[in-house]
Structure 1
């Protein structure tokens, strides 16, 4: 039952005063092309030459990895400012962008030009929202593709210009929040990296540590005189993960299965599941030992390691959390085996890191860097929630379920 004021259409239920139109019926559509690469005079640094690699990271397209000269640009199909760019070929089919300057693209991209019937920002938001539906059939092909003709036949729901502006404005405001959060996260990550480079080398000392202390030369380079080189074999108990505890595994943490199972992986911090068993009491470091080598994680609580994940439990003068940062920043593991890259406990025992002799300074450095992690994680969570809010707003506003005017 369609509620009053709405109608059933090919694109779903929409307001009665909205139209269903095809893209090629309300706007010009063009496909890019690649100038002959053997003629280097066509390439330069004057005009954007957009490829799928340049789309998807941000909404507004203002840069491109490759550029054309004025000569190359004159011989290309130029897309006016305000065009919505849509990847129509390849594994990244469906990525979108909004041209903020006149530009051109390669043949993998279709451009929907501005028109009197469409507000440019609305076109971008609408095609971004509709992208999964538009590309649905293409994804079933060996090389996903939507040709210009089929793309132009895409049916879209179109409100009045004034309502388009209102919808575009609301969604653009959220895009601004998202862009601001992404920029802030990038800034905090850069600041953390710079802080790590200073604190983990002793070039900068935290208040209360190392006042007036000089530097000394070691096998790992120049370090403060009150720091030392710590050999892994002398300061860690090192062992490898084993098989999954088959009789005690759950995908949900509970009183029955309280301990995390960590695998040799990076995504989701390597979490595999939960178990009643444990092989480490925590306050330890784990290192990926197969495939992507040497990524360290600090494990604060008891856990069960599996699948070649290496565990380093401090038994000497090193703090586990400090060691995690020091390993990720300053230890480069070399591949000693043939075939699939891997590390073994005996190999890792040969490595060293440097740090303060005073464990209190190690802890202070680790806590300073952990504060960055807490802030970055909080910002990332806020970013995720804002993106989810944007998606919800698109579903409401671009279908007319919620009206702004």
Structure 2
């Protein structure tokens, strides 16, 4: 049976209490009007789908689709008030958002309307803290999912309302820091992309450089390396990841046998690519830690000639406009491949070695800035997660003035 506000106020007495979510919130699912009825859509009532939640994150006020009053009244769709917690039951199970305005939702989403004793923002963070474990609660079938009955039975640790608000305020501050860092990261990534577009094409020149660039075949910059492996060790094999994600050691396959396929020694600093997937960004430079590892002929390797700086060429090849075009050079039936001879025939515009070094230095600095922001963002997320584990369980208490006070666990 649900607890009313007076019963909860009496139960608190300044302490935390354990409650069922269904006892402190109204919970119901939404609905989807028939898509064939055009009069149901195009109104001014935001209608939230799972894709809206994953796209927009914490706060939702605008949606891809809006309902008309007719669409709302002629379906099981429900209108939820501002500050309703939207909770995904299917697909992205456990995703949470907060309604910024009155809106409706699909049947894949629960609307959770807190009672007076439950702060909506506190509930949002509490549900977010359950996300890693909530999938195990879902009904199993072709697709795991939750339902209203399961969510109503969630156990909730509840401090007095003022402490809830203080906790939510602290965690919201972390959200602002995370969002700010995410935006800085997005800006830095866009800046690097812009620099690559102008510096690697010669559209913009760095100070002190002028003159036409030479157009050379890659064979003028690279030579294929074919050092046969005498060790032929299945535990020292490399693979190239897609989408410019670099090179890594490949797990040893149980079906491999020594000497079954010819392998070649790869040295640190060499350029290597996957014959079948170079057009998907499967290439890179061999890291020092993988010196003397091996690949089959499906991952050829190349040494750099004196007129070409390795990092500059890697940046050049990392342009989508370059590596996606290589698909046209791939040959064969079934799985097409880019053979080294055809790769080396590819022509590129090359500045002098000195200008290559200068361009690589600018892009490397931009990359370091991105890496620093990525590390900062990950640290913020981990620190927030640790703080949530303490604040949402009562292991660390907040006074109403939001100053932290420790309690014994």
Query: Shorter-chain TM-score category?
Result: 0.7 to 0.9
Distance 2:277 2:229 in 1: 18
Distance 1:386 1:359, change over 3 A: same
2:265–2:294 CA contact under 8 A, matched in 1:
yes
Name the structure 2 match of 1:328.
Answer: 318
Task: Tell me which residue corresponds to 1:282.
Answer: 268
Offset at residue 103 of structure 1 (A): 2.1
Q: Secondary structure at the match of 1:293?
A: helix
Q: C-alpha separation between the residues in 2 aligned to 1:46 and 1:287?
A: 52
Q: Does 1:394 align with 2:381?
A: no
1:95 to 2:101 alignment:
no
5 Å-filtered alignment, 1:3-14, equals: none
| Counterpart-to-counterpart distance in 2, 1:133 and 1:200 | 46
- What residue number does 2:374 align with? 380
- What does 1:79-158 correspond to in 2, within 5 Å? 79-90=80-91, 92-138=92-138, 140-158=140-158
Distance 1:305 1:325, change over 3 A: farther
Rounded Cα–Cα distance in structure 2 between residues aligned with 1:180 and 1:144: 34
1:26 paired residue number: 24
RMSD: 3.2
Counterpart of 2:303 in structure 1 is 313
The correspondence of residues 5-404 of structure 1 with structure 2, limited to 5 A, is 17-44=15-42, 46-56=44-54, 58-69=57-68, 71-72=70-71, 76-90=77-91, 92-138=92-138, 140-210=140-210, 213=211, 226-238=212-224, 247=233, 249=235, 262-266=238-242, 269-272=246-249, 279-291=265-277, 293-295=279-281, 296-299=283-286, 301=288, 303=291, 304-306=293-295, 308-315=298-305, 317-329=307-319, 330-331=321-322, 332-334=325-327, 335-340=330-335, 342-356=337-351, 358-404=352-398
Q: Which moved more, 1:304-313 or 1:382-391?
A: 304-313
Deviations 1:322-368 (A, max 9, x none): 11111121312214344345433233223222221x11111111111
Tell me, what secondary structure is at the counterpart of 1:172?
Answer: helix
Q: How far did 1:102 drift?
A: 2.2
SS of match in other structure, 1:21: strand
Partners of 1:245 and 1:182 in 2: how far apart?
A: 46
What is the CA deviation profile of residues 177-199 of structure 1, one whole-angstrom value per residue up to 9, with x for unaligned ones? 11111010001111111111111
Partner SS for 2:382? helix
Residue 397 of structure 2 aligns to a residue whose secondary structure is coil
Which 10-residue stretch deviates more, 377-386 or 76-85? Answer: 76-85
CA contact under 8 A between 2:240 and 2:246: conserved in structure 1? no
Cα separation, 2, equivalents of 1:44 and 1:312 = 57
Unaligned runs of 5+ in 2: 1-12, 252-262, 400-409
Contact 1:285 1:321 in 2 (8 A): no
Please name the residue that 1:219 is paired with.
Answer: none
Q: Secondary structure at the match of 1:55?
A: helix
Structure richer in helix, relative to its length? 2
Give the drift of 1:35.
1.8
Inter-partner Cα distance in structure 1 for 2:228 and 2:129: 45
Quote the offset at 1:242 in angstroms: 9.1
Contact 1:229 1:353 in 2 (8 A): yes
For residues 119 and 383 of structure 2, the distance between their equivalents in structure 1, rounded to whole angstroms, comes to 22
Conserved 8 A contact 1:264-1:289: no
Aligned counterparts of 1:246 and 1:86: Cα–Cα separation in 2? 53
* C-alpha displacement of 1:111: 1.7
1:361–1:291 Cα change, 3 Å? closer
Equivalents in 2 of 1:280, 1:45: separation in Å?
62
CA distance in 2, matches of 1:189, 1:305: 33
Secondary structure in 1 matching 2:157: strand
| TM-score computed with the length of structure 1 as normaliser | 0.80
